[in-house]
Amino acid sequence: MCGIIGYNGHKNSIKVLINGLKALEYRGYDSAGIAYYNGKRMEIIKTSGRIFNLEKKLKPNIQSNIGIGHTRWATHGKPNDINSHPHRMGKFTIVHNGIIENYEELKKGLIKKGYKFKTETDSEVIAALLDFIYSTEKDVLKTISLLEEKLIGAYALGILCDDEPNILYATRKDSPLIVGIGNKENFIASDVPAILKYTNQYIIIEDNEIVKIDDKVTVYKNLNETEKKVLTFEGNLEVAEKNGFDHFMLKEIHEEPSVIKNTTEPFLADGLESLIQNMPNFSQYKRIEIVGCGSAYHAGLVGKAIIEKYTNTPVAVYIASEFRYQKLFTDKETLVIFISQSGETADTLASLRKIKSQNIDSLAIVNVVGSSLAREAKNTIYIKAGPEISVATTKAYLAQVAVLSLIALNLGYKQKIISENKANDIIKSFIKLPTYIEDIIDKNYKQIAKTLYKKNICFYIGRGIDYALSMEGSLKLKEISYIVSMCYPAGELKHGTISLIDKGTNVISVITDKTIADKTLSNIKEVKSRGAVVTLVTTEEIANDFADVNHKVIIPKTNDFINPMIAAIPLQLISYETAKLRGCDIDKPKNLAKSVTVE
Ligand code: F6R
C-alpha cells in the first residue's frame, strides 16, 4: 500500500526522500512523487510507474533540506502522473496514505467555495480542506486539528505549508505513522525501513496526534504537547537487503530456520517449564476464534487443525473482512486470536476493535513491533520474523503457524490430553525443526516448476490440515506467478470441479496426515486417470505406499505439530521457481501491497 517519507534536517532532502521511497517499494505501489522546498517555493515532481522514473524527472543539484515523498497504490483514480502524490491546493502540499470515505461530499462543498480539483483522488480534498480552514484560522496546528473533525476514514498525512516552509507537519488516524529521530535531522515515515539508512530511533504516533518538526520534534495531543517514548529498532539495514539472493522472497525462505528458532526459543529454551511460564494461559477459554486475512487466515486454518486435534477447545477461523461485518457469537469464555504480519491490516484491526467494544479477550500474533494490533490487543505474542520485504509472505506465515502450534501444545498439556512425556518429545522436535527446514529448502524444485510454468491453471487438493496447507500453497502460486490456481478439499473435487481436469492439467496435493491419506490418494487416482500431472508433497511413510505420481517431494515424518511447517516450504519454493521461470516480478507482484491498510 502507499508509503510516506518526510524529512527535515541538514542533508539534501531529495536524496533522503528517494532512499526512503526505495525502502518502501516493497509495500507495493504504482506511482511515486516528492515535494520539497527549495528556499523559494514548494516544488512537486511526480510520476506514474517506478521510482527510477521519478529519478529521471529530477534535475541534478536541487538544493532542499525539507520535503515529503510518497509511493501510491491507486484506490481512487487511475495510477497516472496527475493522480500521484504529493497534492497541492492553495498553500498546502500533502501526501496521504489511507482512504477518505466522505471525500465526495467534502469535494462538492469545496467546489462551491471556489476550489478547482485536478485529480480523481480522495487525497486532493485534504489539501483543499487544509487550505480552506487555514484561510480563517491562520494557524497550521489548529488547522490540522480542525481537519481531523471533518475527515471520515483512514489517513496518515505529511503536510507542508507555504507560510511555514521550514516546518514539516504530520498526523494520522487508522493508518500507521512513525517519526524517525536523527542527529539534527528528523523524519516521518509509514514504517521503519524507510528511515533505517539514517537512524534506528523512532517514535510511534497514535491516532489524532499531530507532529511538528522544525529543529526538533514536538508531538501534540488535543493541541497540548505530549511526551513520547523513543524506541530503538532491533535490526539493521542488512535485513532490508537481498544479500546475494535473486529475490527477497528467496532470501526470506532461507531465513526460515532462524526465524523459527527465534520465534519458538522463548517458549522452549528450558523445555516444558518455559512453555508453561512464557505462553499465556488460555485454558480458561471454552472457545477460540481466529481472525486474519490471506496467508494469516491460512495460518489460522492450520492452527485450528492442530488445536482441535490435541485439545478440547473448538476453534472457528474467520476472514477479517467478513468477520468485521458478521454477527458475533463470542462471549466472555471466547478468546479471539488476531494474526497479522504487519499488525496494520485494516480489516483485522477493525475486527479487533469490534470484539474489544464487547469486552471480549484478544490475543494478537504479530510481526511488526509496536504496530496497531500489537498495541491494541489485550495480549500480544510477537513472531520474530524480522522485516519481511517480499510482498508474498513466507517466513512470517511459518512463524505464525509455529506460535499456533505451541498454543496447541500448551493447551493440550494443560487439558491433560498431551502427557508430559509426549509434550517433552514434541518440544525436542521443535528444537530440531530448523534443521529439518534447512534440509527441505536445499531440495531442487526446478523440475516441478518446469511442469507448472507453461500452464495457466493449477489445482491444489488436500484434506484436513493438508487442505489448509494447500490453500496457502495455492495462494502463493497465484499471487506471484499469475497462474490461476484453485484449491479444494480433495473429496470436493468430484462435486463439480473435476470437469476441469484434462490431460496435462497440473494438480498439486499435500498429504501429511496419515489417518486420511488413503482418501486423498484415491482422489489423486481419480485425477490421474483423467490425465492430470500430479505433484505430491508427502511424508516418507506415505510416499512409500504410493508411487504413481509425476513428482514427489518427500518430507520426513515427524509429528503433527511440526510437520505442517516442513510441508509448507516445498509449496513456497515451487511457487517461487515457477514465478521465476515465468519472468514475474516476484517480490512486487502486480496490484498487490504488503500492508493492506485500507478496507
Ligand atoms: C500473501 C500475503 C497476504 C497477507 C495478508 C495479511 O502472501 O502476504 O495474503 O498475508 O494481506 O497481511 P498481514 O499479515 O500483514 O495482516
User: 549-570 pLDDT, tens per residue?
Assistant: 999 999 998 999 999 999 999 9
Cα 383 to Cα 144, 264, 341, 397, 404: the distances in Å are 36, 8, 8, 9, 11
How far is 572 from 537, CA to CA, in rounded Å? Answer: 12
How far is 127 from 91, CA to CA, in rounded Å? Answer: 8
Tell me if residue 296 falls in helix, strand or coil: helix
User: Is 539:563 a contact under the CB 8 Å cutoff?
Assistant: yes
pLDDT tops 90 at residue 69:
yes
Statement to judge: residues 16 and 75 lie in one domain: yes
Q: Are strands 210-213 and 201-204 parallel, antiparallel or unpaired?
A: unpaired
User: Is 562:436 a contact under the CB 8 Å cutoff?
Assistant: yes
pLDDT tops 80 at residue 152:
yes
- Find out whether the peptide bond into 165 is cis, omega within 30 degrees of 0: no
Statement to judge: residues 424 and 319 lie in one domain: yes
Where residue 163 falls among pLDDT bands split at 50, 70, 90? very high
CATH code, domain carrying 123: 3.60.20.10
Q: Taking the alpha carbons of 127, 133, 139, 141 in that order, is the dihedral positive or negative?
A: negative
Match 498439556 to its residue by C-alpha cell.
413
At CA 127, angle to CA 125 and CA 132, rounded to 5? Answer: 90
Q: What string of H, E and C letters represents the secondary structure of 413-476?
A: HHCCCCCHHHHHHHHHHHHHHHHHHHHHHCCCCHHHHHHHCCCCEEEEEECCHHHHHHHHHHHH
Statement to judge: residues 100 and 146 lie in one domain: yes
Where residue 354 falls among pLDDT bands split at 50, 70, 90? very high
How far is 559 from 516, CA to CA, in rounded Å? Answer: 15
Where residue 360 falls among pLDDT bands split at 50, 70, 90? very high
How far is 328 from 351, CA to CA, in rounded Å? Answer: 10
Determine the straight-line distance between the first and last CA of the chain, rounded to whole angstroms. 11
Give the domain-ending residue among 406, 439, 472. Answer: 439
Statement to judge: residues 416 and 461 lie in one domain: no
Tell me if residue 171 falls in helix, strand or coil: strand
Mean pLDDT score of the chain, rounded to an integer? 94
The one catalytic residue in 2, 161, 293, 584 is 2
pLDDT tops 80 at residue 153:
yes
User: 476-516 pLDDT, tens per residue?
Assistant: 999 999 999 999 999 999 999 999 999 999 999 999 998 99
CATH code, domain carrying 462: 3.40.50.10490
Q: Per DSSP, what are the bridge partners of residue 181?
A: 186
Average pLDDT of the residues in 457-463: 97
Cα 412 to Cα 94, 291, 405, 419: the distances in Å are 53, 21, 10, 8
**pLDDT score at 239:** 64
User: 31-62 pLDDT, tens per residue?
Assistant: 999 999 999 999 999 999 889 999 999 988 89
Statement to judge: residues 518 and 553 lie in one domain: yes
Atom of ligand 1 nearest to the CA of 345: 16
Provide φ and ψ at 127, rounded to 5°. Answer: -60, -45
**pLDDT score at 125:** 97
**pLDDT score at 126:** 97
Q: Are strands 361-366 and 334-340 parallel, antiparallel or unpaired?
A: parallel
* 348 CA to centre of ligand 1 in angstroms: 11
Give the domain-ending residue among 222, 237, 252. Answer: 237
**pLDDT score at 244:** 85
Tell me if residue 549 falls in helix, strand or coil: coil
**pLDDT score at 444:** 94
DSSP per position, 354-410? HHHTTT-EEEEEESSTT-HHHHHSSEEEE-------SSS-SHHHHHHHHHHHHHHHH
Mutate to test the pocket of ligand 1, among 293, 368, 394 (most ligand atoms within 8 A of CB): 293
User: Is 320:348 a contact under the CB 8 Å cutoff?
Assistant: yes
**pLDDT score at 236:** 65
- CA-nearest residue for atom 6, ligand 1, is 293
User: Is 511:542 a contact under the CB 8 Å cutoff?
Assistant: yes
pLDDT tops 70 at residue 318:
yes
How far is 540 from 555, CA to CA, in rounded Å? Answer: 6
* 136 CA to centre of ligand 1 in angstroms: 44
Average pLDDT of the residues in 349-378: 94
Cβ < 6 A, ligand 1 pocket: 293-296, 340-342, 345, 348, 392-393, 475, 479, 595-596
Statement to judge: residues 199 and 280 lie in one domain: no
Domain interval for residue 593: 443-599
Statement to judge: residues 58 and 205 lie in one domain: yes
Q: How many domains does the chain have?
A: 3
How far is 314 from 316, CA to CA, in rounded Å? Answer: 7
How far is 33 from 45, CA to CA, in rounded Å? Answer: 6
Statement to judge: residues 65 and 110 lie in one domain: yes
Percent of the chain with pLDDT over 70: 99
- CA-nearest residue for atom 5, ligand 1, is 294
User: Is 421:269 a contact under the CB 8 Å cutoff?
Assistant: no
Long-range CB contacts for residues 517-524, cutoff 8 Å, separation at least 24? 517/542, 517/545, 519/463, 519/490, 519/491, 520/461, 520/462, 520/463, 520/466, 520/490, 521/545, 521/546, 523/461, 523/490, 523/491, 523/493, 523/494, 524/461, 524/490, 524/548, 524/549
Atom of ligand 1 nearest to the CA of 595: 15
User: 88-142 pLDDT, tens per residue?
Assistant: 999 999 999 988 999 999 999 999 999 999 999 999 999 999 999 999 999 999 9
- CA-nearest residue for atom 9, ligand 1, is 294
User: 166-183 pLDDT, tens per residue?
Assistant: 999 999 998 889 999 999
The one catalytic residue in 91, 354, 580, 594 is 594
Is 161 an annotated catalytic residue? Answer: no
Statement to judge: residues 175 and 284 lie in one domain: no
Statement to judge: residues 182 and 248 lie in one domain: no
pLDDT tops 70 at residue 371:
yes
CA-closest candidate to residue 476, choices 595, 366, 384, 390: 390
* 543 CA to centre of ligand 1 in angstroms: 32
Give how far the C-alpha of residue 492 lies from the chain's centroid of Cα atoms, to the nearest Å. 30
* 296 CA to centre of ligand 1 in angstroms: 6
Q: Are strands 201-204 and 533-539 parallel, antiparallel or unpaired?
A: unpaired
* 74 CA to centre of ligand 1 in angstroms: 18
Tell me if residue 486 falls in helix, strand or coil: strand
Statement to judge: residues 215 and 252 lie in one domain: no
Give the domain-ending residue among 237, 257, 275. Answer: 237
Is 2 an annotated catalytic residue? Answer: yes
* 217 CA to centre of ligand 1 in angstroms: 33
How far is 49 from 370, CA to CA, in rounded Å? Answer: 31
User: 239-275 pLDDT, tens per residue?
Assistant: 667 878 999 999 999 999 999 999 999 999 999 999 9
User: Is 410:282 a contact under the CB 8 Å cutoff?
Assistant: yes
User: Is 407:335 a contact under the CB 8 Å cutoff?
Assistant: no
User: Is 422:309 a contact under the CB 8 Å cutoff?
Assistant: no
Statement to judge: residues 217 and 253 lie in one domain: no
Q: Per DSSP, what are the bridge partners of residue 178?
A: 189, 204
Mutate to test the pocket of ligand 1, among 290, 341, 394, 487 (most ligand atoms within 8 A of CB): 341
